[in-house]
Amino acid sequence: MAIYLDNMAATPVDPRVADQHRAAMTENPANPNSSEHALGIKSQEAIERAGLALLRAVGARQEDILFTPGASAALWVAVQDAIARVSGRLARVAVTEVEHPSLLAALRRAEADGRLTLSVIGVDEDGAPRLEIAENALREGVDLLCTMAANNEVGTITDIGALAALAEQYGARHLVDASQAAGRIGMSAILRADLFVVSGAKAYGPRRAGALIGKLTGHASRLAHDVFGSPDAPGAVALALAFTLRASERESDEPRIAAMRDALQSHLLANVPGLRVNGSGAARLAGSLHVSTPHLPGEAVIGRLWGKVALSTGAACQSGVPGPSHVLSAMAIPEWARDGAIRIGIGRFNTEDEIAEAGVMIAAALNAATPSRRYA
């Protein structure tokens, strides 16, 4: 079996979460909207308890919570909420250019439909939003500021506290995509946002479960029900457990994961001439290692590791899309680094022995007999 190092795309489901999910599917068979019998009420109560447990796990005060079929769905609802809050003019939205493709697509569709105006905030070489550009956009008037707590490709941790302060200063609502961050880093700055999104797929929880936390307009809430249908009680229960486990185990897991990442990074730098580590100038998620080889395209590296080590060239939602990702294109890095990039994601179920074994294979794959490109 291949060594799994694609934890930025999706984490393996924790067996404890899988057991809870399985049990909840049999214990809560009813539709939670079926209020005419006891089992329907029981299912609704399970969702309410899961909501409270999730809020406690992420450290949020008592807030509204909308369970969704994944983070992308939650981000879409947040866009609809921003549009619904504005009357007599178009909603004004500012977004960093490295946000998740699903959010960027939702915003661009709404802009094309004449429902909002969009301003884009550039990033630096590490993929971090440029605060001066964000402030300029906010100064001109913004209804919703969209930021990502941790980048889903290079793992850069955003200075959400500084962005939250700017949003508060200029009176903009703030949406934070915390899909990669929640369960991996502290949440104090993220909790300042008006809305934030968490994902089970990045926290060893159920794949198709996410949540949008914060107050929504009635229109957005009704729209979510119309589109997504009845909430999934077992999914909500499993999601809450996943984050409860992350809250209790994160502080012991993440340093170990960071140590494995650092060991792998050191091995690759020592054995791959000209290797570039992307995002290394900023704080990164513990398990994130994004590198570029000058020797061959990233797709070729992935091919050489097929069946041995599972990793990727970028976000799973862009698999098969030719050319570098929008994240790498936004970063001021050399063309060869964009073309020769691979994304490695280490998680809590990886072992030191696996990382050592994978390191040998990845280093061999990153090298080529004859370098095909210059690196300068």
Any idea which residue has 């976000």 for tokens?
Answer: 315
Cβ–Cβ under 8 Å, residues 200 and 242 = yes
How far, rounded to the nearest angstrom, does the alpha carbon of residue 352 sit from its chain's CA centroid?
25
Any idea which residue has 């991996």 for tokens?
Answer: 184
- Helix (H) or strand (E) run with residue 88 in it: none
Cα distances (angstroms) measured from residue 177 to each of 180, 210, 263, 363, 372: 8, 11, 29, 33, 38
CATH topology of domain 3-9+250-366: Aspartate Aminotransferase, domain 1 (3.90.1150)
Per-residue pLDDT tens, the chain, 376 aa: give them.
899 999 999 999 999 999 999 999 998 888 888 888 988 899 999 999 999 999 999 999 878 999 999 999 999 999 999 999 999 999 999 999 999 999 999 999 999 999 999 999 999 999 999 999 999 999 999 999 999 999 999 999 999 999 999 999 999 999 999 999 999 999 999 999 999 999 999 999 999 999 999 999 999 999 999 999 999 999 999 999 999 999 999 999 999 999 999 999 999 999 999 999 999 888 999 999 999 999 999 999 999 999 999 999 875 455 555 567 899 999 989 999 999 999 999 999 999 999 999 999 999 999 964 444 443 3
The CATH code that applies to domain 15-246 is 3.40.640.10
Q: What's the CA gap between 58 and 25, in Å, rounded?
A: 24
What's residue 347's pLDDT? 98
Within the chain, how many helices (H) and strands (E) appear?
12, 12
Structure tokens at 237: 């229960």
What's residue 332's pLDDT? 85
Q: What's the CA gap between 359 and 24, in Å, rounded?
A: 39
Q: What's the CA gap between 71 and 196, in Å, rounded?
A: 10
What's residue 282's pLDDT? 86
Q: What is the pTM of this model?
A: 0.93
Q: What's the CA gap between 273 and 206, in Å, rounded?
A: 40
What's residue 61's pLDDT? 86
Fold matches, 3-9+250-366 and 15-246: no
Q: What's the CA gap between 325 and 153, in Å, rounded?
A: 9
Q: Which residues of 337-346 are buried (b: 16+ CB within 10 A; e: fewer)?
A: bbbbbbbbbb
CA-wise closest residue to 55 among 67, 38, 70: 67
What's residue 369's pLDDT? 47
What's residue 82's pLDDT? 97
What's residue 321's pLDDT? 54
Domain ranges of the chain: 3-9+250-366, 15-246
